[in-house]
Structure 1
Amino acid sequence: MAEPLSARIPAAPIRPSACPGLLRIVPALDGGICRIKLPGGVITAQQALAVADAAEQFAGGVIEATNRGNLQIRGIGQDHQGLIATLLDAGLGPRNPASDDVRNLMLSPTAGIDPQQLFDARPLAARMLDTLENHPRFHELSPKFALSLDAGEGLAMLDHPHDLWLSALDIEGQTWLGFGLAGCPGTDSPLAAVPVEAGHDLMVAVLELFLDHARPDQARMRHLLQNLPLEALLDLLAQRLPHTLRIGRTITTSRRKPTKPSAHIGTYPQRQPALISIGGVVPLGRLTPSMLRNAARLAVERGDGTLVMTPWQSLMLRNVSRENASLVLDSLQAAGLLCDADQALSHIIACTGSAACGKGLADTKADALQLAEYLQQQGVTQAVHLSGCNRSCAAAHAAPITLLAVSAGQYDLYFRRVDQPGFGELRERDLTIEAVGALLTADSRSNTDD
C-alpha cells in the first residue's frame, strides 16, 4: 500500500515566515489560519468537500477565498496535524513539502477556454509550477514572491502587482510573451518579450538572477531593483537566455483592454459556443462549508467536476451547458453566492477586521454589510474596500474606493488616483458608515447625471 501523504508531514515549519501555508498554520485572534494554494485556482469537487469537512472538524467552519485564487481555513483549533493530514490526503498540498511557500503562480480562471486567449496557458503554467516545486534553490524565495501568467484572456486579473508577470502579446501577427518586474500588465508596458516557448526558461533565468543578486533581506523584486538598475538586470538576463529577447522599446502592440469589473459575476462565454462559465462572488470573501459543498455538487452535476477560485474572491463553474445556465445561477444564488452584478455586496471587499485580527481597528466585515445594505437600498453599486489597518490584506491593489479604519466604526475615505501612491486621494476623514454611504450615493449620482 502506498504511503499516505499525511505520513510525510514535516516535523517543523519549512522556514520561518509570518505567512500561512498548508504546512504552517499561523495564529490569529480567532485561532489558526491555514492557506491552501490551488494550481491555477482549480480545486476538484472532491477536494472542495474535503476542505468543507476539515473546516468543520478542525476549525470554526470559516473558509476564505483569497485575492490570489486560493482558499484559507480560519479558526483552527489545537489539532493542527489532523487538519494538515486531511488536506494532504485530499491531494491539496505540494508534492514536495519544501515547495509549499513558493507555488505562487496566478492564472486567469478561464485559462484554456477563454474566447480571447492567444494560446492555452495551462501547459506552460503546469511546467512552471513543476519547476517551482522541484528546483531546490527556488525554495529560498519569500512566500510573498509572486508570479502571474496570462494568455490574453478577456477574464484576467491585470491590476495585481507581481514580482514577475508574463502577458501574451500579438506582435506583427505572432504571439509573444511580454514580461515585467515588480509591477502589473494592466498599467505597465512590457520591459521585453520572448517567444511563448521561451516562457519557462525566462522564469527560471529571472528567479535565478534574483537569488544570485538579492541580499537575504531583499524578499521582493522591487527591493532588488532599488540597487540593481533595470537595464543591468536585462543585460544579465539576455546573457542567460538562449532565446531572442525583444526589448520593450522595439515592441509595437496595442494596449490591453482592461477586464470589465463585473466580468467574473454571472455568465461568461467560452471558446466552445455551447458551453459557458458561471461565477458567483463569495460574500466578503467568506464561504461556509455548506456553500462550498453546494457549489461542489453543482460542479459535478452541471459542470466539469471542478471549481475555480478567482482573484476577485469569487468562484466559477466551467464547461456548463448553456441550457443549464439559469438553473446553475439560481442554485449558486440559493447557496449564498452573489451572481448578480447589481447586488451592492458583490462589489465590496473587507479584511477580517478587529473581530479576528489584533491589528484591525474596526469590525470591517460587519461595517461592510451595513454599507452594502445602505447602498442596495439606494440602488447604488460601488467598488469599495474596507481595511482595518494600512496593511491592506484584503486587496492586492488599490481599489477605486478605500475605507481605512481609524477607530471602531470610523474610517478615512480614499479615492484611487493614478498619479497618487497608496490608496489614492484622501477625500474625507473619520467618517461613520452612515456618512460614507450618503457620500458614495451622492458621488455615484453626480457622476451619472447629465
Structure 2
Amino acid sequence: MLAAMSSAALRPSSQATAVSRDRSDACPGTLRLHAADDGALARVRIPGGVLTLGQAEALADATQRLGDGDLHLTSRGNVQVRGLADGCGAELAELLTAAGLLPSRGHERVRNIVASPLSGLDNHGLLDVRPWLSALDTALCASEPAQALSGRFLFALDDGRGDLAGLEADVTVRATADGGAQLALGSAGRALHVSSQDAPRAALAAAEAFLEAGRAGGTRVWRVAELALGADELTESVGHRLTVEGIGHERQARETGRSHGPLPGAVGDALSVHVPLGRLSAPQWRELTRAALGELRLTPWRGVVLPTPGTTAVRRTEALARLDAVGLVTGPGSPWLRVGACIGRPGCAKSRADVRADATAALDAGGALAASGSGRHQGLPLYWSGCERRCGHPRGERIDVVAAPEGGYRLSVVAPGHDEARTVPLDDPSRLAAALAEIT
C-alpha cells in the first residue's frame, strides 16, 4: 500500500479555479446506469481504448441484445451502450465480466486511461506505452484509495509524440528522449522526471496525492483543475509522496504539445479510420473486427486504429475500401474529421435540437467549408451542442454551435484573443458556411 502523503498544510492560491462539489460524482458506468430519454445508458471504460476481438464481439452482442444496436464512442476512447431497457443492468454486467471488461467492480468508473493509439505501430513514438498501460490499470484496480476517484478523473499515457498533451488530463505520463518519463499534473505548472520503470507507480501515487489534497482542503473535487492550489503546489506534494515511495524524481519544465489524432488511412503497421459523430452501427463494427489483427484501439478523437502487422499493401487497400463502403472515414480529406456533436434529441431531454441531424444537413449543404471555417480560425473543430453544457466537446480551440432557447443556433469561437461573448445566429443549418465566414 502506498504511504500517506505529508500532512503539511496546502496553501490556497488565486491561480487555481477552486470548486467544491456538493454531491458525489454521478458519471455513469456499467454498474451505475444513467437514465436518458432514449433509455438507460452504460459507459464502459476501455483503458487505452484497447479491445481484444473477443471483447469487441461481446460489446456488439451487448448492444444488439440489450441496447439500441449501435456503439457510441466517447472523447476518452470509451464506449457507451444506449437505449438499455429497465432491469437489464445485471445481464449487462455479466456479459462484460465474462469478456474481461469489468475486472474490478469497485474501480469500474475510475479506469479512465487514454494512451497514444499508434504507440508501437509506427516510428514516431519514443517507446511502446502498452507495458505502462497494463501496469497502471492493474495498480489502479488494486488500490483501495483509488476507488474514491471521480469518474471524470483522467490519466494519459503519451509515447513521446505529444498527441495527448492537449487533452488536459489530470495525470499525464510522457516518454522522454533520455529513456525516462515526465509526470505532469493538470494543464499547468512544472513536471517531475521519473524512470520509465517507475512511471505507472508514479502516476497512481499522483492520483492518490490528489485525493489527499482534496481531503486536506476540506472540499470535494473531481478534477485537478478544481483544487484550490497553485500550479506547482500539488506537484510539490506529489514529489514528497514519490520520495516516501522510494521513487526517484527531479523537477523539470513541462513539455508541451497539442492534442491530435492519427489521420485516416494506412499508417505504420495499422489502419486508421474516423467514425462520424462517434456512432458505430453493427455492420461497421463487424467490418472493423474483420480488418483488425488481434485487437482494436479506440481513440479519444472518436476514431479506431486497427493493428495490421505483416499485412500486405494490397490487403490493407482492400480493407480500407470495405471500411469506406460501410460509411467510415478512411482518408484525410473528409470534412467529418472536424465535426462533432453531443447526442442531442431525442436521446437527451435537455437538448433543444436534433443536433446530429442538423450537423449532417449543414455538412451536406456546405461541404468542406462547413467543417473548416475561414479566416484566421480556419481548421478549428466545429462542435454542435443541444444546450450550454456542451457535453463531450473537444478541448482547446474550437467553434461552438449551440442550440439557442429561441430556436436555431448561436456560433462562437473558443480561442485565445477571441471574444467568446461575440456570437452569430444561425437559423438554418444550410447557411452554416455564411455564418462561419461572419464569425471568423
Contact 2:139–2:201, Cα closer than 8 Å, also in 1? no
* 1:262 CA drift (Å): 6.5
Correspondence for 2:186: 182
- Quote the residue 1:223 is aligned against: 226
Match of 2:239 in 1: 238
> Matched residues in 1 for 2:414 and 2:355: separation?
19
Report the alpha carbon displacement of residue 319 of structure 1 after superposing the two structures with TM: 2.1
Question: Does the CA-based 8 Å contact 2:424-2:435 persist in structure 1?
Answer: no
TM-score, normalisation: structure 2? 0.84
What letter matches 1:412 in structure 2? R
Deviation at 1:204, TM superposition (A): 3.0
2:273 corresponds in structure 1 to 280
1:40-439 alignment runs, 5 A limit? 40-78=48-86, 79-93=88-102, 95-153=103-161, 156-170=163-177, 174-183=178-187, 190-215=190-215, 217-224=220-227, 226=228, 228-241=229-242, 242-249=246-253, 258=258, 263-269=262-268, 276-299=269-292, 304-320=293-309, 321=311, 322-376=313-367, 381=372, 382=379, 383-407=381-405, 410-419=408-417, 425-432=420-427, 433-439=429-435
Deviation at 1:434, TM superposition (A): 2.7
Alignment partners' CA distance in 1, 2:407 and 2:340: 16
The alpha-carbon distance between structure 1 residues 262 and 72, as it changes in their structure 2 partners (threshold 3 A), is closer
Q: Residues of 2 paired with 1:140 and 1:125: CA distance? A: 20
Deviations 1:95-146, CA, capped at 9 Å, x for gaps: 2210101111110111222311112211122111111111111101111111
Q: 1:358 to 1:398 in 2, by over 3 A?
A: farther
Change (3 A) 1:17 1:244: closer
Q: Name the SS for the 2:404 alignment partner.
A: strand
Cα pair distance change 1:388/1:380, threshold 3 Å: closer
One-letter amino acid of the structure 2 residue matched with residue 206 of structure 1: A
Q: CA deviation at 1:243?
A: 3.7
Distance 1:108 1:152 in 2: 9
AA aligned to 1:89 is: A
* 1:435 CA displacement: 3.0
State the one-letter code of the partner of 1:214. Answer: G
Root-mean-square deviation over aligned CA pairs = 2.5
* Distance across 2 between alignment mates of 1:176 and 1:418: 33
**CA drift at 1:418:** 2.6
1:62 Cα offset (Å): 2.8
SS in 1 for 2:176: strand
Cα separation, partners in 2 of 1:405 and 1:289, compared to 1, 3 Å:
same
Of 238-247 and 71-80, deviating more is: 238-247
Judge conservation of contact 2:183–2:199 (CA < 8 Å) in 1.
Answer: no
Of 203-212 and 278-287, deviating more is 203-212
Q: 1:399 deviation in Å?
A: 4.5
Amino acid at match of 2:306: L
Aligned to 2:3: none
Structure 1's 27 and 121: CA in aligned 2 closer, same or farther, altered over 3 A? same
Aligned counterpart, 2:43: 35
Aligned partners of 2:60 and 2:285 also within 8 Å: yes
Unaligned 5+ runs, structure 2? 1-22, 373-378
Give secondary structure in 1 for the equivalent of 2:316. Answer: helix
**Is the CA contact 1:386–1:404 (under 8 Å) kept in the aligned structure 2?**
yes
Stretch moving more, 144-153 or 400-409: 400-409
Matched AA of 1:440? L
1:230 Cα deviation after fit? 4.2
Query: Unpaired runs of 5+ in structure 1?
Result: 1-14, 270-275, 445-450
> In structure 2, do the counterparts of structure 1 residues 409 and 160 end up closer, same or farther at CA, with 3 Å as the change threshold?
farther
**2:15 aligns to what?**
none
**Matched residues in 2 for 1:153 and 1:233: separation?**
25
Report if the CA contact (8 A) 1:115-1:153 is conserved: no
Cα 1:441–1:339, aligned 2, differ >3 Å: closer, same or farther?
Answer: farther
Aligned length in residues = 401
TM-score (norm 1): 0.82
2: CA distance, partners of 1:31 / 1:379: 32
The one-letter code of the counterpart of 2:286 is R
Per the alignment, do residues 84 and 409 of structure 1 end up closer, same or farther by CA in structure 2, a change over 3 Å counting?
farther
Q: Which structure ranks higher in relative contact order (CA pairs < 8 Å, sequence separation ≥ 6)? A: 2
For the residue of structure 1 that corresponds to 2:127, the secondary structure is: coil
Aligned equivalents of 1:287 and 1:221: distance in 2?
32
- Matches of 1:52 and 1:211 in 2, distance apart? 36
**One-letter code aligned to 1:221:** V
Number of the residue aligned with 1:6: none
Identity over aligned residues, as a percent? 29
- Which amino acid is 1:279 matched to? S
Give, in whole Å, the separation in 1 of the partners of 2:406 and 2:328.
Answer: 28
**1:225-282 Cα deviation digits (max 9, x unpaired):** x1x3444433333333234432235x7xxx65646x573312222xxxxxx3111111
CA contact under 8 A between 1:388 and 1:405: conserved in structure 2? yes
Check conservation: 1:38, 1:70, Cα contact below 8 A.
yes
Q: Relative to structure 1, is the Cα distance of residues 409 and 339 closer, same or farther in structure 2, using a 3 angstrom cutoff?
A: farther
What's the counterpart of residue 448 of structure 1?
none
Post-superposition Cα deviations, 1:364-406, rounded to whole Å, max 9, x if no partner, equal 1111101111222769645311111222222241442211221
Residue 333 of structure 1, CA deviation = 0.7
TM-fit CA distance, 1:441: 6.0
Distance in 2, Cα, partners of 1:158 & 1:203: 15
User: SS in structure 2 opposite 1:342?
Assistant: coil
**CA drift at 1:425:** 3.0
Q: Is the Cα–Cα contact under 8 Å of residues 189 and 232 in structure 2 kept in the other structure? A: no
Judged with a 3 Å threshold, the aligned counterparts in structure 2 of structure 1 residues 130 and 197 are, in CA distance, closer, same or farther, namely same
From the superposition, tell whether residues 277 and 62 of structure 1 become closer, same or farther in structure 2 (CA, over 3 Å): same
Distance 1:374 1:443 in 2: 18
